[in-house]
């Protein structure tokens, strides 16, 4: 998620998500000049952003907390970019910067495009390495294996990659990105096409998940992570703020149970901050919500209710094990949980 032309510009022109300008990869062999190395990089995220939340979940499931320290930005960015106002003195304690834009400028002064999260920053130089949200989590699952915790799940199993890629492609086009195309639409037909696409795909996903616990195979994969980060925001922001309101997530028995199953799985719900999510969307998108009023609802208590998905079988972590307790200093604020 990025700041493009300031907060007031949201909803003023047709939405088109730009490709990541910085697409270097951190790999085991360091072929792009960035080798996997414990403690060298800092993962900058916003708990409000679904694209960044993918990386937060993957990092926790894989046990990369020590190897890849994380910085959490204020959910309400200003026109200068994501800011570190949650930290003492308004600076990231490791990078020493006030705005994520400073790491972008250190990499390429006057770079085109916005300042987005997730972002991987090289700590020694203070330069941005990558903001390629599509590739980042795949690399965490594959290139960072030497630093995974014991019992870490295989989130991108090689034998299932073609199917995972197909499912993720459909989810991205119609759901992950579709809600944005609906929410930032500037014409009725543009909005209608995007909104109808969102619910058409959600209907197909509901059918797919009616008799299987996870999207691909019998364990959690990258595909589930990518769908979850949209579903968990659906009723809180996309249904009202983005006008994706043909029905609520809670009104689809299968998807609501699937989302609750994942939410209650260690590594998912314990990374979600509904307070950050709601304040970001309703206060930053001034072109859509000029008053900045944040709604009181929806009721979040249902996220912790029984879902019954265990009856479908499946092994959440495959032959592995769940991650341990959330690390000290990375807890989600009490106001952000049901």
Which residues carry out catalysis? 49, 180
Place of tokens 């009725």: 188
DSSP 46-58: -TT-HHHHHHHHH
DSSP 232-300: HHIIIIITTTT---SS-GGGSHHHHHHHHHHHTSTTSGGG--HHHHHHHHHHH-TTT-TT-PPP-----
- 70: enclosing H helix or E strand: strand 70-72
Instruction: Determine the Cα–Cα distance for residues 308 and 141; give it in Å rounded to an integer.
Output: 28
Instruction: Determine the Cα–Cα distance for residues 149 and 237; give it in Å rounded to an integer.
Output: 34
CA proximity to 1, closest of 42, 41, 55: 55
Tokens of 182: 């609906």
Q: 239 has which bridge partners?
A: none
Query: Are the C-beta atoms of 220 and 265 separated by less than 8 Å?
Result: yes
């Amino acid at each position: 998620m990025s700041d493009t032309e300031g907060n007031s510009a949201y909803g003023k022109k047709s939405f088109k998500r730009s490709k990541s300008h910085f697409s270097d990869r951190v790999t085991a062999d360091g072929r792009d000049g960035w080798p996997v190395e414990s403690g060298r990089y800092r993962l900058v995220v916003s708990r409000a952003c679904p694209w960044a939340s993918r990386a937060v979940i993957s990092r926790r499931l894989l046990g990369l907390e020590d190897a890849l320290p994380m910085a959490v930005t204020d959910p309400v960015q200003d026109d200068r970019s994501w800011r570190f106002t949650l930290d003492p003195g308004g600076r990231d304690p490791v990078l020493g910067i006030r705005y994520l834009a400073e790491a972008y400028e250190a990499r390429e002064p006057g770079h085109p495009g916005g300042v987005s999260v997730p972002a991987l920053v090289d700590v020694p130089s203070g330069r941005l390495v990558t903001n390629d949200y599509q590739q980042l989590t795949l690399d965490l699952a594959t290139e960072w294996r030497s630093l995974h915790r014991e019992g870490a799940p295989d989130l991108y199993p090689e034998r299932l990659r073609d199917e995972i890629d197909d499912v993720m492609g459909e989810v991205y086009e119609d759901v992950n990105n579709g809600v944005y195309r609906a929410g930032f639409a500037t014409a009725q037909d543009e909005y209608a096409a995007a909104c109808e696409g969102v619910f058409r795909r959600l209907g197909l996903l509901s059918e797919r998940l009616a008799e299987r616990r996870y999207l691909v195979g019998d364990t959690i994969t990258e595909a589930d992570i990518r769908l979850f980060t949209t579903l968990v925001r659906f009723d809180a922001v996309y249904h009202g703020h983005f006008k994706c309101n043909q029905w609520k997530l809670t009104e689809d028995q299968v998807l609501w149970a699937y989302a609750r199953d994942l939410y209650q799985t260690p590594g998912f719900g314990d990374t979600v901050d509904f307070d950050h999510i709601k304040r970001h969307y309703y206060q930053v998108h001034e072109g859509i919500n000029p008053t900045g009023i944040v709604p009181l609802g929806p009721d979040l208590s249902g996220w912790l209710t029984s879902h019954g998905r265990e009856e479908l079988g499946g092994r959440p972590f495959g032959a592995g094990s769940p991650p341990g307790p959330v690390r000290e200093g990375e807890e989600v604020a009490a106001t952000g949980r049901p």
